Structure 1
């Protein structure tokens, strides 16, 4: 397993909610805004602000089959991207509570 894949998997395993993001991405911004409105506790990694961001993005594609950001995990499960998160808006309080992130 590559170092980047190990790092990505550790972040997913050690945090109830994770958003792999890019600081300039409007879809990422929409996801972070929604989670912030719900007062969710989440781990944020801006892939464009870390040295190994490209390698982590490659690793996330291996893990999830999704290359785009945001790449979101709740309760260690892959949720998908912003449209997937927004589509679950009605269930988010329940999902986040179950994950211990509210």
Structure 2
């Protein structure tokens, strides 16, 4: 859990992902289209990925836990939460406040 939280606080936007997950791809693509360059940690490509996946599952209360998004070091959640914020017009201000967007 410590490693996940440390990684989550190192950049304005952090996404924990699986390289083969379509919902992970959707979230990463949304951030890129908004002009955000998230730090992406592909859990399935990390030597300590199983450990990270267990920590994320505990944090999210479900399995599989990905994608898991942190903005400004704070847990936002998964695809449904990110999309809900975006459709509600709240994602871009959140990204600006975190320093991920300058416009």
**Smaller-chain TM-score bracket:** 0.7 to 0.9
- 1:57 and 2:56 aligned: no
2:68 matched to 1:71? Answer: yes
Deviation at 1:66?
4.3
Is there any run of 5+ residues in structure 2 with no aligned partner, and where? none
CA distance in 2, matches of 1:56, 1:28: 16
Q: Which residue number in structure 2 is paired with residue 86 of structure 1?
A: 83
Q: Look up the match of 2:27.
A: 31
Identify which range, 63-72 or 88-97, moves more after superposition: 63-72
**Is the 8 Å Cα contact of residues 28 and 38 (structure 2) preserved in structure 1?**
no
Decide which moves more: 50-59 or 61-70: 61-70
Alignment correspondent of 1:11: 7
- The unaligned stretches of length 5 or more in structure 1 are none
Provide the C-alpha distance between the structure 2 equivalents of 1:10 and 1:93, rounded to a whole number of angstroms.
24
Query: RMSD of the alignment, in Å?
Result: 1.3
CA positional deviation for 1:61:
2.5
- Alpha-carbon distance change, 11 to 59 in structure 1, aligned in 2, over 3 angstroms: same
Q: Deviations over 1:5-61 (max 9, x none)?
A: 221111112221110000110000110110000011211000011111111011123
